[in-house]
Structures are given as structure tokens and as C-alpha cells.
Amino acid sequence: MDTRSRERISRARLDFLFKHPFLGDLSLRLKVLESGKTKTIATDARHLFFNPEFIKGLPDPHVQGVVAHEIGHCLFRHAGLFGLSTLQKLNITDQKGRILDPVKHRIWMAACEYMANHFVVDICRLDLPAPYCYERKYGDGTWTTEEIYHDLLTDADTRGVPAALVDDHTVWERAGEESGSSGEREGLGTLDQDWRVWVAQALHSAKRQGRLPAGLERLVGELLEPKLNWRQVLADFLISKAKDDYSWRKLNRRHLWREVYAPALYSETIHIGFALDTSGSITDEELREGLSELQGICGAFPSYKIHLFACDAEVQYAQSVESAEEVNIAALCRGGGGTSFVPVFRKIEEDGIPLNCLVYFTDGYGEFPDSPPEYPVLWMVKGHADVPWGRRCEL
């Protein structure tokens, strides 16, 4: 056992407690183990594995950097079974962790490095041993690991797959092999909850000491408050706009046989606006999925009408339907020029359409009206752009 290397890691964690309490608190959650299975350093979100020869070759600032790097992999759910569940969702591995697509697997590993290195370099202001994956655009605090993955995947043919890894990720693959069936992975839920609690406690401690790095709270916010499912947001938004009431104009037939006269429940026709930014950010598949979800939700309303708009710099197509099956997808996807949201709102006003609400699918980059309309607007945004008013949900 190499006590010297272990002491250097312990000293890095102790230094964190005084200078970086957020890192200090979280570093103590990982049990430090010397391991001959890794050539560098690694984590499975429970342990911090290290190779003594790797630690010996690093100056103290880099020891701090690589320990923080491992904490980053835990924070962003890359390590161990955390990452395995994401790989399965992206169809990169099967249920037992076996790699289905080696290229996509390498791109995912690179995306994890970019995310962890952004945390270390831009948030914690620590150094890492070169070479390592880093790109300034991923350091603005708005990217998730999955978004970086898809961005790298898009450019993989032209710029290749980044290969510089600070640490050893094979321990993540072994976690999948050793975990067995899904029934044996029940510990993942407990580990997930533990990390949520630990992160919340570490944030609170760093805030109390006045040592919370700028941008950290926003960066780890997804861990504490996961992004809402856009389908659920859309359903809640639409259903809240339905207007149900009782009327004596129609009697409730369920009680007439008992000679009990009670008012019947009626619903006004709900008018839903569905607008699409056709500048190219939303794909045909995403549009079909959104319309399908819209139709399914509207099926809960006794009477509804959907008002469709396709717009780039001008409204290119408009249609009113009573079923999403009537929609002309090809016509709705017309356009491709600049982006302005103003024409849709102008047309709704000029045509006197009595909207209860409007759902706008877009990347959020374009000209907005100066003020919001009287009806509520839900912006379904693909990407990171903010909106000046209305409710925003990220796709």
C-alpha cells in the first residue's frame, strides 16, 4: 500500500474543506481505495480509486484537479450505474452494459470529460494535467452532458472523436457487468437520493461560509431539480385552460330517472394555438411527436379546435383543424428563412381568433413582440435561449 499517494489525496481533500467547502464536503463521501485495476484515477460514485504511480507523477495542484474531476463525474451522473442508465436510454449499451455502438460510446465518454472539465476549470478554478478535453463554448453554464454529446455527435465526421481522458472510465463499464439484472440495481435509487442530499448539504455549507463558486448553483440545479418532462408540462398547461361549468340549460340525464333535476356539466370549445418556428431548429419528427402529444391531450376535451401556424420571418401557413390527423405536415414545415415571432401574434389578432392559449415550438432565437398577449403562451424551446415573457419549457 502506497501511503504517500493516499496522504496526498487526503491533503487535497483537507485543502478543499478550507478553500472549496463544496468540494470538501463531497470528496469525503467517496471512500479512497488504492487499485491496480486503474492506471490513473476513477470513481463509481461510491469510491475514489487511484493508482499510486499516477498520483506520484502529479504536482499538488493537479492532484486537487483530478479529485475534483471525479466529483464532477458523480455530480453529473456519469459514474457507475448513473452513467449506465443514460447509456441505455441513448441506445449506446444494452441492459447489461454491453456496448452496442463503439463510436457513440467514445463520443459519450468525451462528452462526460467536457462536462467534468468545465466544472473543474471554469467553476472550481483548478488545474488539470494536460491534455484534456475542453472547449470554451461548453463553459457558459447552460450545457448538459447529453447536449454536449449530441453536439459532438453532429460534428464527429468532420472533427473526429476527442480521445484525451483525464481519468479511467472502464470502472463505469465494470459497474454494469457486476450489477447483474435490473432487479439487482435497486441501490441506484438510494445512491441517487444520497447524492441529491449530499449536494444540497454541500451547497448550503459553501453558501454559509461565503465560498460558493459563481455559477455552481445553476450548474448543479438539474441534479436537485430535474428538468420537467415537456409532455407533462404541455398537458398541465392545456388542461388548466379548459373551462368547465354547470348549466341548467341541459339537465343531468344520470339523475332524471329518479326525478331529480340537476344541472349538467358542459365545456366550452377550447381554442389552442400551435405555432412552429420553421427556421430549421425543429425537425419533422419532433413536430409529429408534438402534434401527437397535443392530439392525445385534446382528446380529454369534449370540444376543441387547434389553430396551426408555420412561421419564419412571416406566417407561411395557417390552418384550423378539429383533429391533429387533418394536419398537413409538409405544409406546416414550409419556410426556412429568418425568425420572427411577431407575425403569428399579429395574425391571431387580425383574424380575431379566440385563443385560450398558444404553444410555440422554437429554438427561442428571433424577434419577440414587445408585450405579451392576453392569452397565456407556452414556449417549447429546443436549446438554451431564454424568452422575455410567457412560460418556458426546454425540450
Average the pLDDT over each of 33-42, 175-184, 191-200, 264-273 and give the range with the smallest value: 175-184
Q: Cβ distance 277 to 339 under 8 Å?
A: yes
Radius of gyration of the chain (CA): 26
Inform me whether the pLDDT recorded for 101 exceeds 60.
Answer: yes
Q: How many percent of the chain have pLDDT more than 90?
A: 30
Q: Cβ distance 219 to 141 under 8 Å?
A: yes
| Residue 182 banded pLDDT, cuts 50, 70, 90 | very low
Average pLDDT over residues 133-146: 84
Average pLDDT over residues 20-28: 93
Domains of the chain and CATH, by start: 3-222 (no CATH), 230-394 (3.40.50)
pLDDT at residue number 343: 94
pLDDT at residue number 365: 85
Whether the pTM exceeds 0.75: the reply is no
* Average pLDDT over all residues of the chain: 80
DSSP 124: S
pLDDT at residue number 219: 75
pLDDT at residue number 212: 84
Average pLDDT over residues 28-36: 92
- Select the highest-mean-pLDDT range: 55-59, 130-134, 176-180: 55-59
Q: How many CB atoms lie within 10 A of CB 251?
A: 14
Residue whose C-alpha is closest to residue 82's, from 192, 206, 238: 192
- Whole-Å CA distances, 372 to 18, 170, 380: 48, 51, 16
Average pLDDT over residues 6-16: 94
pLDDT at residue number 128: 95
CA–CA gap between residue 370 and residue 388 (Å, rounded): 9
pLDDT digits (tens, 9 = 90+) for 315-357: 888 888 876 556 666 666 655 566 899 999 999 999 999 998 8
Average the pLDDT over each of 153-157, 182-186, 381-385 and give the range with the smallest value: 182-186
pLDDT at residue number 188: 55
Inform me whether the pLDDT recorded for 224 exceeds 80.
Answer: no
Residue whose C-alpha is closest to residue 80's, from 118, 119, 112, 40: 112
| Residue 181 banded pLDDT, cuts 50, 70, 90 | very low
- Between 340 and 253, where is the model more confident? 340
- Whole-Å CA distances, 90 to 84, 210, 229, 284: 10, 39, 17, 20
Give the strand order in the sheet containing 377-381.
Answer: 315-321, 304-311, 270-277, 357-362, 377-381, 391-394
Query: Strand pairing partners for 320?
Result: 307
Average pLDDT over residues 43-71: 95
Residue whose C-alpha is closest to residue 56's, from 129, 165, 164, 153: 129
Inform me whether the pLDDT recorded for 209 exceeds 90.
Answer: no
- Between 24 and 222, where is the model more confident? 24
Return the axis-axis angle of helices 60-75 and 102-118, rounded to nearest 10°: 120
pLDDT digits (tens, 9 = 90+) for 263-317: 454 456 788 898 888 776 666 666 666 666 666 666 666 677 889 898 888 888 8
pLDDT at residue number 299: 63
CA–CA gap between residue 46 and residue 207 (Å, rounded): 25
Average pLDDT over residues 218-238: 67
